[in-house]
């Protein structure tokens, strides 16, 4: 082997090594980005679930407050809010009016009545300033 063949072989070896390194870095970066994206998606899901859980607990407080009031109108407000926004199979105002034996307008009136206490439970003191 002459020196040209050796230096050409060394150059090929260096080129191949550099290409392997580039591919390894690229694959490592892709794997890192993928793992980071998956982590961020999971964190986002956990945050959403946490907010949802807190709001359902605050809605539970509203239910308890309505029950303790002993007023049928407040319990109806809770049932209407639950049927309209929370239940898996949401109902229309007409369906709720029929279920509660009230006028459709009463359904909307009860929703409006529930907004203030629910806003305070969901959003805290800041929501009270609006009203």
3-state secondary structure the chain: CCHHHHHHHHHHHHHHHHHHHHHHHHHHHHHHHHHHHHHHHHHHHHHHHHHHHHHHHHHHHHHHHHHHHCCHHHHHHHHHHHHHHHCCCCCCHHHHHHHHCCCHHHHHHHHHHHHHHHHHHHHCHHHHHHC
pLDDT given at position 110: 95
Residue among 80, 71, 68, 67 nearest 106 (CA):
80
pLDDT given at position 88: 84
Q: What is the mean pLDDT of the chain?
A: 85
Q: Please list the pLDDT of the chain residue by residue as tens digits (131 residues).
A: 566 666 777 888 888 888 999 999 999 999 999 999 999 999 888 877 766 666 677 788 899 999 999 999 999 999 999 999 888 899 999 999 999 999 999 999 999 999 888 888 877 765 555 54
pLDDT given at position 79: 95
pLDDT given at position 80: 95
Q: Exposed, middle or buried, 109 (CB in 10 Å: 0-12/13-18/19+)?
A: middle
Global pTM reads 0.55
């Amino acid at each position: 082997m002459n020196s040209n063949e050796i230096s050409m072989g060394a150059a090929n070896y260096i080129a191949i090594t550099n290409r392997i390194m580039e591919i390894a870095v690229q694959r490592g970066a892709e794997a890192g980005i993928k793992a980071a994206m998956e982590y961020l998606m999971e964190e986002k899901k956990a945050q959403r679930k946490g907010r949802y859980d807190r709001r359902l607990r605050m809605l539970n407080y509203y239910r308890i407050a309505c029950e303790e009031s002993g007023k049928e109108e407040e319990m109806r407000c809770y049932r209407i809010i639950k049927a309209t926004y929370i239940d898996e199979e949401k109902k229309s105002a007409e369906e709720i009016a029929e279920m509660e034996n009230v006028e459709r307008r009463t359904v909307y009136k009860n929703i409006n009545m529930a907004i203030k206490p629910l806003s305070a439970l969901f959003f805290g003191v800041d929501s009270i300033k609006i009203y």
